[in-house]
Amino acid sequence: MLWSNYFIPTQKENPADAKIPSHKLMVRSGMIKQESAGIYSWLPLGIKVLKNIENIIRQEQERAGAIEILMPTLQSSDLWSESGRYDGYGEEMLRVVDRHDRILIYGPTNEEQVTEIFRKYVKSYKNLPLNLYHIQWKFRDEIRPRFGVMRGREFLMKDSYSFDLNEDTAKISYYKMFVAYLKTFQRMELKAIPVSAESGPIGGNLSHEFSVIAPTGESEIFCDKSILDLDINKKNLTTDKEISEAVENYLSFYSATDEKHDVNNFNKTVKKKDQISGRGIEIGHIFSFGDKYSKPMNASIVNADGKISDVYMGSYGIGVSRLVATIIECFNDDDGIIWPISVAPFKVNIINLKNNDDDCYSKCIEIHNLLEKLGIETIFDDRDESAGKKFSDGDLIGVPFQLIIGPRELKNGNVELKIRKTNKKEIISFERAIDKIKSIIFEE
Amino acid sequence: MLWSNYFIPTQKENPADAKIPSHKLMVRSGMIKQESAGIYSWLPLGIKVLKNIENIIRQEQERAGAIEILMPTLQSSDLWSESGRYDGYGEEMLRVVDRHDRILIYGPTNEEQVTEIFRKYVKSYKNLPLNLYHIQWKFRDEIRPRFGVMRGREFLMKDSYSFDLNEDTAKISYYKMFVAYLKTFQRMELKAIPVSAESGPIGGNLSHEFSVIAPTGESEIFCDKSILDLDINKKNLTTDKEISEAVENYLSFYSATDEKHDVNNFNKTVKKKDQISGRGIEIGHIFSFGDKYSKPMNASIVNADGKISDVYMGSYGIGVSRLVATIIECFNDDDGIIWPISVAPFKVNIINLKNNDDDCYSKCIEIHNLLEKLGIETIFDDRDESAGKKFSDGDLIGVPFQLIIGPRELKNGNVELKIRKTNKKEIISFERAIDKIKSIIFEE
């Protein structure tokens, strides 16, 4: 992509209302634009990152056996009356009255809607287990939306819903999502900590948050350092037994949200030097809630003995748009964003030091086309701007590799390669630079 | 994908309210489920087709130089007051009042919102031309939603917006989208006819609908048969001049909607034998409307002479969810859907004739894995159902190729290949069957 053909409205000034790094940097790098309180447009760089994150989530959901559907943004309020949540959900639920005076709800979550789908089609234990997920915009009418897309009103969420015959298989479904979440976040280079949590308005008695520690986190979390040393990718996870053991290994270590924290127990079970506490940003939340929705909504199944029972359910959410901000909270410096390769909007940024030099321009185009052909998304900063502006914008938008091409080095067949993560620069031949980029990207 | 691990709730009965083939078949094949009047959930087969269509549209938009963004579903009503459309849009516009008593609108279209983005960031002719598009859910509160997703209330739309310095370059932008639309629809095997149209509430004086002729079309269209014989892919379309000439060739033939139709002119310019009229389904609509939004909303730019002028705009819509239904209207028979390969949810459906035969099962799995490895999406109907049920469901869901595997033919190393488009069957070796499928799919 040529920068001059693209649309990246960077700006130097921080927005007046932005308090956290991700909000500042997303506005400054031209990723988002606020349209109303807590409602944003995603500009080209923003939507690219959002889609990269969405695709990682989708791949890991499919790998875990979840099946994609898409429920609408607007739901009938009748479903919420059936489940008993209509009155309880409060003012965060956006109610809409249509031209025929029917009440619709802009879905903040989809337990009712998916239970309605299930009960219409699935009647037999033979069709279980089943896990349906979708990635759809949601709305929560937060009283004080803030921190950009970290706490917006219209937000993108992946939510999965599992259906099982009994508590034991429901637990396996829960564990499978537990593993999928660890793998998903690891692919984004996030160290997500599963934390025992309250289940709140979703319900049930088994619930975990997945949080990353960052200074701007919204609440305190506490855990045993050992959890951070576990690596889900080092486990062999073929059978249900292996999955259960892996998850129960995680669960054997202390971890809790503020609400669930028990100081005595923490001190008793975790050595002082292994006690970790910090601000956590919640990026996922999973729930097992049995028949909380299936019972009032009559979502029952016939089991192998011909008996009828309410289906066991769980729900599993990931804040997709919030993840964009979270990754930036974890990976930034004074100059801008530092994207992990897997989610970066482009992998390579080619900077032309001398705008009117034909040789430089041709070389930039040649390298750009070569990288694109290799499947490495590349942006070439061909703007008629100073080198300084290109450097600062390059650091700001945080593309992992910068290839700086100027007449002096070009004469010797060399290029300057800057790795944004370390900010280290080296002058090497084009061949070595491309080999290095390839080896880092494709080894991942 | 194994059918037994997937979720395709087929049904024999037509829904009581369904009047047109696509509505009946989408419900019967388990693609969609109605949630409220004109509001649908997309079940696994449905979302797969929707995404395939979305991707073709996205590729052709990018190829034409349009840049993807994503505007939110809910817009501030203030923007619509600025443009003067707030009062005029009528009851089809869904208005929402949030907890702070601010009025939001569930966007039926995005001219105002994108003009607001443009005016905030773009000030100079140097950044033109610019074309921004997004693919987002829209809402129109139709008084009588009907025909399934053909005329739903919550619907998915691709809308692009072009920005130009003057009328001449605006025309080139319009022509580029004109060509992109022809290519997009052709990839879905639809014969889309560009028809001179009224611009209605969007405004402007240059407007074309893209329609396909089908008995269930909503309005009458009239055109010269010669338009149907044109093939956009046979044109060389590198320069602006070549693009203009190609489009003007299309425009040189008579074509009009009901509202624009002029019988005398039709009879004068088109030979009787070349006169085509029929019911048209509108799948795209493009508009060039100059300063209709930029003037009231102050979206101006500085030109090369330092003078300020209002930017010239156009907008270009494709009904993504409506296309799913339209393709079915064009491609179906008494037994079900006949998907064009490019949009089919799976390309091959493997039918196991004998459920408890180990050899048959192993062969099915082997062929399934082989096809998936070749990048050919395959579903293996491994259900414990009769052959008859598998045949009728296979025809209903309309996957292009069926591979029917049974013990008798397997002994001879053969398989029955059925091509859904022609319903022709032949017994051939596995190698030949796979070669045939490969050659048809990858030649496309």
> Band of the pLDDT at B443, cuts 50, 70, 90?
confident
**B67 interfacial to chain A (CB closer than 8 Å):** yes
Tell me how close the Cα of B106 comes to any Cα of chain A, in angstroms.
10
For B119-131, write each residue's pLDDT tens digit. Answer: 999 999 999 999 9
Question: For residue B208, what are its two tokens?
Answer: 């074309």
**B13 interfacial to chain A (CB closer than 8 Å):** no
Would you call A69 and B43 a contact, using CB atoms and an 8 Å cutoff?
A: yes
Query: What residue ranges do the domains of chain B occupy?
Result: 11-333, 346-443
**A195 interfacial to chain B (CB closer than 8 Å):** no
Would you call the peptide bond into A129 cis, given omega within 30 degrees of 0 as the criterion? yes
Would you call B74 and A154 a contact, using CB atoms and an 8 Å cutoff?
A: yes
Q: Position of tokens 């039709």?
A: B266
pLDDT at B444: 54
pLDDT at B24: 98
pLDDT at B254 over 80: yes
**Topology of the domain covering B11-333:** BirA Bifunctional Protein; domain 2 (3.30.930)
Nearest to B395 by CA among B355, B338, B352: B338
pLDDT at B199: 75
Q: Which parts of chain A have pLDDT scores under 70? A: 444
Would you call B42 and A99 a contact, using CB atoms and an 8 Å cutoff?
A: no
pLDDT at B274: 96
Q: Which superfamily is assigned to A3-333 in CATH?
A: Bira Bifunctional Protein; Domain 2 (3.30.930.10)
Residue A200: count of CB within 10 angstroms of its CB:
11
Please, which residues have CB within 8 angstroms of residue B121's CB and are 6 or more apart in sequence? A7, A9, A30
Work out the mean pLDDT of chain B and round it to a whole number. Answer: 96
Would you call B36 and A113 a contact, using CB atoms and an 8 Å cutoff?
A: no
- Statement: the pTM of the whole predicted model exceeds 0.95: yes
Please give the class, per CATH, of domain A346-443: alpha beta
Contacts of B104 in chain A (CB under 8 A): 36, 39
- Partner residue facing A70 (CB), from B47, B69, B122: B47
pLDDT at B204 over 90: no
Contacts of A163 in chain B (CB under 8 A): none
Residues B176 and B169: beta-carbon distance below 8 Å:
no
pLDDT at B176 over 80: yes
Tell me how close the Cα of B11 comes to any Cα of chain A, in angstroms.
10
The average pLDDT across B23-48 equals 98
First CA to last CA distance, chain A: 23
Residue-wise burial string across B42-67, b where 16 or more C-beta atoms lie within 10 A, e elsewhere: bbbbbbbbbbbbbebbbebbeebebb
Question: For residue B175, what are its two tokens?
Answer: 């022509």
Residues B332 and B37: beta-carbon distance below 8 Å:
no
For A73-100, write each residue's pLDDT tens digit. Answer: 999 999 999 999 998 888 999 999 999 9
Among A258-272, B104-118, B200-214, the least confident range: B200-214
Contacts of A137 in chain B (CB under 8 A): 72-73, 137
For B365-418, write each residue's pLDDT tens digit. Answer: 999 999 999 999 999 999 999 999 999 999 999 999 999 999 999 999 999 999
pLDDT at A444: 54
Tell me how close the Cα of B273 comes to any Cα of chain A, in angstroms.
47
Q: In angstroms, rounded to a whole number, what is the distance separating the alpha carbons of residues B175 and B181?
A: 10
Would you call A41 and B72 a contact, using CB atoms and an 8 Å cutoff?
A: yes
Q: In angstroms, rounded to a whole number, what is the distance separating the alpha carbons of residues A347 and B441?
A: 32
pLDDT at A203: 74
Q: In angstroms, rounded to a whole number, what is the distance separating the alpha carbons of residues A104 and B377?
A: 37
